[in-house]
Structure 1
C-alpha cells in the first residue's frame, strides 16, 4: 500500500506543490518573543520550508499546524518605530492625494493598518479614513490617535460589511498581501470594497530582489507568500482586478508598489508594468530551475555567515546585535547562532524589551545597553534600514566599534 502523503496544494491555483525553493529547517514563530518568565518553558518549532508552484510560480510556505494564531491580540510589531518608514508613508500620502485628487469627500481604507502609522497622514489632511487591523493592541493605539479602526481580519466577509457604507476610493495595504494564508479570499475582498473607479495600491517585497540578493532571511512563518509582479498579476486577474502600474521601491530590501483597478476600468497599463514583466521573464522567474537553484545558494550563505562570526569570536571580539526583527530571527535560528556568538540584542520598541528572542533566547534590551557595554561589533539584524541604524548608533565609533550587516553577504562596516 502506498503511504506517501499527497503533496500540498498551491494556495492560489490549487496545483500540487512539488518543488522546494528554500528549506530553512525547524524554526520558532519569528515575532513570538519569549517573556522572561517563560525562559525555561518548552518552545514550539515549526517547519520553515518555502515551495514554488510550477503552474503560477507563487512561492509559498509549506502548510504547517500551530496551536495558536500567528497574529494575536498582543502582537509585538508596531510600524511607528522606524523613522524612515514613517517618512516613506508621509511621502506616499502626498503622492496619492495629488495623483487621485483625494479630498474630504473621498474614502481611504487601509488593510492591516497597525498602529495608524500611515492613516494619520491622511487624517491630517482631513481625508476620511478607515483602518482594518486584526491585532487588538496595535489597533487600540490607532484608535487612541483618533483613527477609525475595525478590529477584523480582511476578507470577503469584512469587505461586504465595509462596502455597504464606506466603499474605497483608495484601498491600500503595506506588507500584508504576503501575510495572508487565504490569498484568494483576501483579494476578492478588495474587489468587493473598491468603488467602480477606485484604486488599489499594495506594497510587498519583490521576489526578484529576494532571489537576486539572497534575501532568504525574509522568509518566516508570518509570510505565507513571496510574490513576483507576474504572479500578482495572475492573482488579481482571477478576481476581476487588473494591475495597471507598478513602482519599484527601496523599502524592505526591494519592494513593489502595485496599482490595481477593476478589470473594466479604462486606465491603460503603463510602460513600467510591461517592462517589469519582461525583466522578470528574462531573470528566469517563469522557469522552475531558477527557484531550485536558490536553495543551494542559501546553504552557501549560511556557511559564510558562520565562518564570519566564528572568525570574529576567535579574535576575541565582543558582538551585540541591534533589532528584534523577524528576518534576524530567521537568520539566527537557521544558522544556529545564539548567546555563544551574541551577548544581547537591542530594540527601540518597548513591547519587545525584557523578552528573549524566540529559539535562541538572546536577551532583548533597550538601546542604551549598547553604550553601557561598548561591544566591539554591533550586528544590525534589520539590514533593510542599515543606513538609518548606523547613523543612530554612530556613537559606537567613540570606542572603535564597528557595524556588521548583510549587504547581501554579511560583512563589517566602519
Structure 2
C-alpha cells in the first residue's frame, strides 16, 4: 500500500502487523485440505493526513461475497438489534406506507423483514448469491448487486429515491469507499437519510479488538475519518450514536449535504473523545501492537497449560474474527480439537489456515469439555446464557478479548 484510499496521501504509518492469513470466511471443505491455501499480509496502517486506518486491498469483494458463509439471522441478538433499529427509525423518520427503505448488504433479510412486517416498501441490495436467495425466500425483495454510483442510480431510476438507506456493517468492507459513498447518495432522496453502522476504531484500539482486523475489512473508522469519507460522496454527518455491537460501534446518521442541519452535540462529544485518545496523532496507536502481542501470549499459555493438565478445550463459534485470532496465535487442532457453530453451512468444513473442524453445537454437550473458548466474544451476554448448560459438568467459558478471562457459568 502506497497511497491512502480516501485522501490519496502517501503518509501511511504502521499500527499492527498480523503476518499473513487466508481470507477469514474461506472455510475449507474436506476435499480441499490437501490443496494449497493462499494467505495474504494483514497489516493495518493509518493515514496521518485524514486518519483513516486501512489495510491493502489484496482481495476483492467479488472474491469474498459472491458466495458467503455468514448469515445474520443465526445471531438472536443481532436480529433483535435490527428489530429495535427498525422500530426506532420508523418513529424517528415518520416512515409509513408511502415510504421506501433500501438496505445495502442486506444479507439474508434479517433487518428488512421487520420493515416488510410493517407494510413499508423496501429493497435489499446484496452481492452474495446464496444469502440473497435466502432473503427472497423469506419474503424480502432483494437484488444481487454490488453498490456503486451506477447501481445506485439504476435502483433509484427503477424504484424511486429512498427515504432511508441503511448500510450496517458494510462501510468497512468496500475498498472503493468513495464510489460506494457516491452509490449511497445516488440511492437516497434529496431530503432523505442514510444510516450506517460500523465498528468504532476507538474501541478497537482501547479494547484490543484486533481480531476484527481481517481482509474483508478494508478500513476502520473514527467519527473524524467517517465525516471525510461521507463528504467524498456528497453526504454530511448530522448525528452519531455509540452502540455496544461488535464490541463497540458507531451509528452514523447522514443526509445529502444540501439538506443537512448542523451536527448534534453528540457528534462533537465523540470527536472530543477520539482526540483525547490520541487518534488524530500517532501517539494513540503506538502501544497497540504490544497489547496485541500480550493477547496472543496469554491465550497460547492458557491452551498449552490446559493441554498439559489433560484438560480439554473446544471452541464455540466460527466467526471471521475468530479466524484472525486463531491464525495469529498459531492455534491448531492439537490445542483446539474443534469448534462448533449454529450455521449448518459451516458444518463439516474447516477453519481457514488453522484447519480446525467445525461441528454442530450439540457436540459440546455430548463431549462435556473442561473449557469452551468463545470466539464471537462480542456476543458475550447472549452466549453466556446459551452456554449455561456447561455448568452441569463443571465446564467454564473462556473469552480471549479484551484480555483472557475464564468465566464460571450458572444454570
Shift of 1:406: 2.6
Given the alignment of the two structures, is residue 265 of structure 1 paired with residue 259 of structure 2, yes or no?
yes
Q: Which runs of 4+ in 1 moved over 3 A?
A: none
For 1:152, the equivalent position in structure 2 comes to 145
Given the alignment of the two structures, is residue 81 of structure 1 paired with residue 74 of structure 2, yes or no?
yes
1:408 to 402, 405, 411: 402
Shift of 1:386: 1.6
Distance in 2 separating the partners of 1:93 and 1:200: 13
Question: 1:137-216, aligned counterparts within 5 Å?
Answer: 137-165=130-158, 166-216=160-210
Shift of 1:72: 3.8
Which runs of 5 or more structure 1 residues have no equivalent in the other structure? 1-6
- Is the Cα contact below 8 Å between 2:181 and 2:232 reproduced in 1? no
- Relative to structure 1, the CA distance from residue 70 to residue 236 in structure 2 (aligned partners, 3 Å threshold; closer, same or farther) is same
1:240 to 214, 227, 234: 234
Shift of 1:332: 0.4
Question: 1:266-285, aligned counterparts within 5 Å?
Answer: 266-285=260-279
Question: 1:7-406, aligned counterparts within 5 Å?
Answer: 8-64=2-58, 69-165=62-158, 166-406=160-400
What do residues 288-331 of structure 1 show as CA deviations (whole Å, max 9, x unaligned)? 23223322221222112212222222222100000000111000
For 1:4, the equivalent position in structure 2 comes to none
- Is the Cα contact below 8 Å between 1:19 and 1:292 reproduced in 2? no
User: SS at the partner of 1:333?
Assistant: helix
- Relative to structure 1, the CA distance from residue 328 to residue 266 in structure 2 (aligned partners, 3 Å threshold; closer, same or farther) is closer
Distance in 2 separating the partners of 1:138 and 1:17: 38
Distance in 2 separating the partners of 1:69 and 1:314: 44
Distance in 2 separating the partners of 1:125 and 1:85: 19
What do residues 129-176 of structure 1 show as CA deviations (whole Å, max 9, x unaligned)? 010000000000111122111100011110010121321100011100
Distance in 1 separating the partners of 2:180 and 2:14: 25
For 1:3, the equivalent position in structure 2 comes to none
What do residues 36-73 of structure 1 show as CA deviations (whole Å, max 9, x unaligned)? 1212111111111111111111111124257x943243
Q: Which TM-score applies when normalising by structure 2?
A: 0.97
- Relative to structure 1, the CA distance from residue 56 to residue 173 in structure 2 (aligned partners, 3 Å threshold; closer, same or farther) is same
Shift of 1:266: 4.6
Name the count of aligned residue pairs: 407
Distance in 2 separating the partners of 1:131 and 1:102: 17
Distance in 2 separating the partners of 1:64 and 1:266: 36
Q: Which TM-score applies when normalising by structure 1?
A: 0.96
Distance in 2 separating the partners of 1:131 and 1:39: 35
